[in-house]
Structure 1
Amino acid sequence: MKNSASRKHGLSIGDISARTGLAPSAIRFYEEQGLVHPFRADSGQRRFDRADIRRLSFVMISQNLGFSIAEIRAALETLPQNRTPTKRDWERISARFRHHLDARIAQMTALRDKLDGCIGCGCLSLQNCKLYNPDDRARTRGTGPRYLMGDTPPPQTP
């Protein structure tokens, strides 16, 4: 448990802003979203634990990778509130996110490799659609870009 002296002093929002590069308004937004939990000093000023620098850095990286605030909040809620997270705590979160990142990498690779061909969207506006998706056969598999979503186009007939 943190001693009262370290909690009493903490870091100001300006300190956190300088260390993370986030604007104070962004830090307050993340506070409202439950991603950081500052405390009030005796003077009433909002103060942050040093561990909040890492939490906010994690938030920034996660958002850049496409994770939603809700997904980030769920991950951060698994961290202990009564102590600074350890390396093992962060490894646990990383393992959880790794699965999602691997799936996104596979999806982005498929998009990169197939974007210039038929994506099975049913548009029938390209010359290739007559070859890859005759009579909009992809629509029988559901809505959206079926082939980019993992469906395989039927073999082409000469």
Structure 2
Amino acid sequence: MQRIVTVFCLMFTFAANASDCFDAAGRDYHIDPDLLRAVAFRESSMNSHAMNIVSPDKYAVGEMQIHSQNFAHLSQFGITPQSLFSDRCMNVYTGAYYLAIAFKRWGVNWESVGAYNAGFSQKPEQKAKRLKYGKEVHQIYINIKNQKTLQ
């Protein structure tokens, strides 16, 4: 029995690694995978090893640029900055998790997409940042969709 479970786990791990992380995270969080790709493109130009270091305490990691302000929350799930940097799928899933939180809080709209980057503060300058970011991601998303129709 243990051997069957081991083989099943290996097959599942291989399938998870072989599949596209954006498709899997999109399916699991009910988010269009192309929207996740658009966020990743806006955040890191799809660079899974991107690092944006502002200071030793303020930095963002990986393709989805998961910010250090989230690390304490993520640690309760066993997610570390190192795992976000070294495991592309964990990074994409974590980004999808935070985008899903924004959608749950404000609905599925471009300002919620903007909250991925600019947070939920109601200050006018944060709202402007959310709207700008949402517009940028929207344009990238349209470009991704248009590319697919050309193929």
Higher relative contact order (CA 8 A, sep 6+): 2
TM-score by length of 1: 0.28
**Structure with the higher helix share, 1 or 2:** 2
Larger Rg: 1
